[in-house]
A and B are shown apart, each in its own frame.
Chain A
Amino acid sequence: MSGGPIEDDRTLVERVADRPGPALPWLGAGLVLLALEFGRFLGWALSLGAGLRFAFDGIVAIPGWVGGNVADTAGSLAGFLAQDLTALVVLFVVASVLVRLAPWRIVDRLELGWSRKREAYAERLAVTAVLAAVASALAFTPAGSILRFELEVAAWLLESVAASIPTLTSPETIPNQGHRTPGGGWEGTFLGLSPAVAWAIRTAVVFAYALACLVWAWSGYDRYRRHYRQADWTPRDDTVRRLRNHYWGLFGLTIVIGFVVLALWAPAISPVPAEANIYQPYEHEFEYLGEDGEVASITHGAANINTRSDGQHTVAPLSYDQYDRFAPLGTTPRGQDLLTNLAFGARTSLIIGLTAIGLGAFIAVVLSLLTAYYKGVADVLTVVASDTIISIPAFLLVMLISVIFSEGNHPLADPLDGGLLLALVFAFVFWPGMWRAIRGPSLQVAEQEWVDAAKSYGQRPTTTMRKHMSPYIAGYIMIYASLLLGSVIIFTAALTFLGLGISPPTPEWGRLIDQGQPYIATSSWHVATISGLMIVLVVTAFNALGDALRDAIDPEADVGEGEETGGATTGGGV
């Protein structure tokens, strides 16, 4: 805490501007980190944009879909009406969100003298009207297609920029793909080193960079806490302190961070590009030094046939195949690189896990707040709904829904070869469990007198729930989410193992186990073993992290250090 009462009223930006000493080096370091990997960050932003666009297209398609269904049964006029009505409802929802997000409100400026509720609805309706006008302008005039074209050009420009900017960890900066020269050296690799060493350097750089990012973030928090925060102590400080001393949790956190880095930097950690090795193996060629001493070229697909690890032949971990491609973890029974599969499989698992748990946790939190605050009928309905879902065996339900959608060739089943569909199904199956888990704490916090106090001075119910109830549930939902994330990874792997979840070519850990499982007793033992160990490790790590979060958030756990905590909340696993 730096100053007296007068200084305290400054905003964070003002406080930093008044005393930039500690902040400037930190900001500079941030800029350097950003510049080193700018191309990759841009790539991530573009993928995120593509995801948003998919969601946007999906929402845009809703009115047409509803209208089409109504038109099929009730005639085309009803269909048009239903379509327009749905479109307006969708726009109204969007308008409500926009009004919420806006920093100031139009009606406050107008001073209409209406009631609060009336003003709020009038504002939303006005924004809906504006949106509807814009939407119809885009849909029925050339403006829409012009805008779409412009956006596509912009995206294409950004993509080419992202591809052309040199980034620290890209395989172009530190290449490891090259071929032996007849003279005994290497051609095309980083500084002429062997592919193994080049790959090792690149991987080390990736993890060093990730570590630097973490250090940078922690230092930012620390600087904020020491130099700029107005409160000299917050309850969060204790949570962080407890987490820092929780070694089992730190172990979990380390593995989880490693897993996330593996997923985010999958193209950098893979020794061969996934596009060439997995997705389009017959479209990409590479060069190698043939038996006859000539440099020849071959497609990845053709080469993979000869590098299979299927019991008879094996490309073991940390070895080169006969085409001089380095395989840090060996190859799969289909001859692909195992590490590339694992890295991109981690990406698949992470996307599915985060989408499923994010969506499920969101539903669970919203419902638990509503049911705890209003109780009564809302509560009963939610209990019935969640009990209905829980009463069907989860695994069966997941299989059922995913088979229906993928057999019906639903557009949702396309992204990630069924991965997105799986994530949505998991969200649907897992929210009741999470809701149940946080129901007790929600009901408890709803009984606190500060909730009554908020009501007594007229606070809005939604604000009361957000400000006075949700912080107390956030801890619990984080714990259960991290435990369930492990379950989702296992579930996905199990389904893919059974051939149901994610279809090839999207890499998935469960499929690796499935493929490697017949060769476990042969020289190709590594395929199923390494993938299986990875799953065990990651799921254990998520459980450890959940454990640590629980101990860190619960002040009553603050009795002694290294105290053994019982399994009050067990999770993960099928």
Chain B
Amino acid sequence: MSQERLSADRPTTTDEVMVEVRELKTYYEGGGLFGGTPVKAVDGVSFDIHRGETLGLVGESGCGKTTLGRTLIQLEDATAGEVRFDGVDVTTLRGDELYEWRRNAQMVFQDPDSSLNDRLTVGEIVREPLDVHERGSPEERRRRVRELLDAVGLRPEHYYRYPHQFSGGQRQRIGIARTLSLEPEFVVLDEPVSALDVSVQAEIINLLEDLQAEFGLTYLFIAHDLSVVRHICDRVAVMYLGHIMEIGPTEELFTDPANPYTHALLSAIPEPDPTNDRERITLHGTPPNPRYPPSGCPFSTRCPARIRPDRYENLDDELWTAINTLREVLRERQRAERSVRERLRARLGKETRFGAIEETREELFGDLELPPEVRTAIDEVIDHAADHDERRALARLAEEFGSVCDGEGTPAEPELHAVGEGGRRSFCHRHADGYREPDRVLDARQ
């Protein structure tokens, strides 16, 4: 993808806000009849989508971006918050109002194999939304379907074929035709090309751009492929663990990321220029369980620019990684319920599966050189943990190594700070007064 292409003029985006999302939360109830801790797939996000623009939504798998897209078009019920389309909160729509509204917001699904019913002909599939909304006479509907097939690059005589007879890219075109049949204003594209061959991806992306220009569509483009996002999107939102970490104009965000997570994500793009000496930021560990997100910043457990107590600012990075891992282990132990049998074994002084904290210590800190005060602190933490008092162990750890990032301050969560010129916002404590900006920290720590 060339730079000329990137800077080319995009279809004009108005500043008129079309979708306002405010403090939106979508939780999945944890199985069972009696509730339990819900999975916080989307945990309080706020952003706007402007009419005519393409907003990209990127993030690792499992960060909640698909759930967010599905909630926007009311395929999932929002747990809290508002989604206002042209001023109307659609999370409260029921019955006929919802049915009438649905034609305005449609979705292109990720998997072309699963999104088309194989027992219906292409014509029946594309026609179904028209039948549901009783648009025109049967002849008009059939004519409209043929127009749509033509618009997405299929032939009208494909009407009586079955999806089985098409390739993945063609199937995705059928899905796009169905999405467009009701002339929606807003379309959620849920990783529309990630299941396709690379050669076909470009065709579909170009088709989507053409259709946007032709029908004046507004897109929410969900993807994990950053180069595709950079190509097609006007603005980008970066998501992590149910939160939007950074949102802003595409080029600005890609060239000068503000949030540490965006830094890490962007550094994962392979660099074609061998002379570029930019170092790759490696994230340690896996994203936390969305059922038990960390207090404070969601990214704090893995953040390379995490705010550290002043006296430990210059501790070795490896040591910090070990400390972070220790905290995760303790949190995990705290959550795990101990069975009666296990309590008995511990009482009798026998080995339990929780008894191995010493081993954990050996594993994490064994080959590291610990400064005396760090050693003392870690020893105390390990002692508490060995007594099965994970709460106190965590408290001690936070007292010694914690910071505002771990939810020590008020408010615990960072704010969406305005950064850059283009109305970009970033969800990080480091943008507050009194801290160094993330990029400077990242440079310093590398």
Interface residues of A (CB under 8 A from B): 1, 4-5, 8-9, 115-117, 230-235, 380, 448-450, 452-460, 467-468, 471-472
Contact = CB atoms under 8 A, between A and B. Distances in A.
B96 A115 contact: yes
A457 B117 contact: no
B117 A452 contact: no
Interface stretch (B105-113, B279-287, B389-397, B427-435): B105-113
Contacts of A467: 117, 120, 128
Contacts of B114: 448-450
Given A235-B118, A456-B102, 4 more contacts: A5-B157, A231-B121, A235-B164, A450-B116
Contact of A457 (B106, B119, B120): B106
A282 B346 CA distance: 89
B306 interface: no
Contact of A453 (B109, B139, B156): B109
Contacts of A4: 157
Q: Please give me the 4 A-B residue pairs with the lowest Cβ-Cβ distance, nearest first.
A: A457-B129, A449-B115, A230-B160, A115-B96
A450 B108 CA distance: 11
A378 to B, nearest CB: 13
A512 B121 CA distance: 52
Nearest to B165: A233
Contact of B111 (A115, A449, A455, A472): A449
Contact of A234 (B103, B132, B156, B162): B162
Contacts of B425: none
B99 interface: yes
Interface of B: 33, 70, 73, 75, 95-96, 98-99, 102-103, 106-107, 109-111, 114-121, 128-129, 132-133, 139, 142, 146, 156-157, 159-162, 164-165, 175, 178, 182
A456 B106 contact: yes
Contacts of A231: 121, 160-162
Given A115-B95, A457-B128, A5 B146 contact: yes
Contacts of B96: 115-117
Given A4-B157, A8-B160, A458 B103 contact: yes
Contact of B132 (A115, A230, A450, A458): A458
22 contacts: A5-B146, A5-B157, A8-B159, A116-B99, A233-B161, A233-B162, A235-B118, A448-B115, A449-B110, A449-B111, A450-B117, A454-B128, A456-B75, A456-B106, A457-B106, A457-B129, A457-B132, A457-B133, A458-B103, A458-B133, A459-B132, A472-B119
A234 B123 CA distance: 13
Contacts of B33: 380
A449 B109 contact: yes
Nearest to A9: B142
Given A116-B99, A453-B178, A456-B106, A9 B132 contact: no
B106 to A, nearest CB: 6
Nearest to A229: B160
Given A1-B160, A235-B119, A455 B165 contact: no
B120 to A, nearest CB: 8
A454 B139 CA distance: 22
A4 B175 CA distance: 24
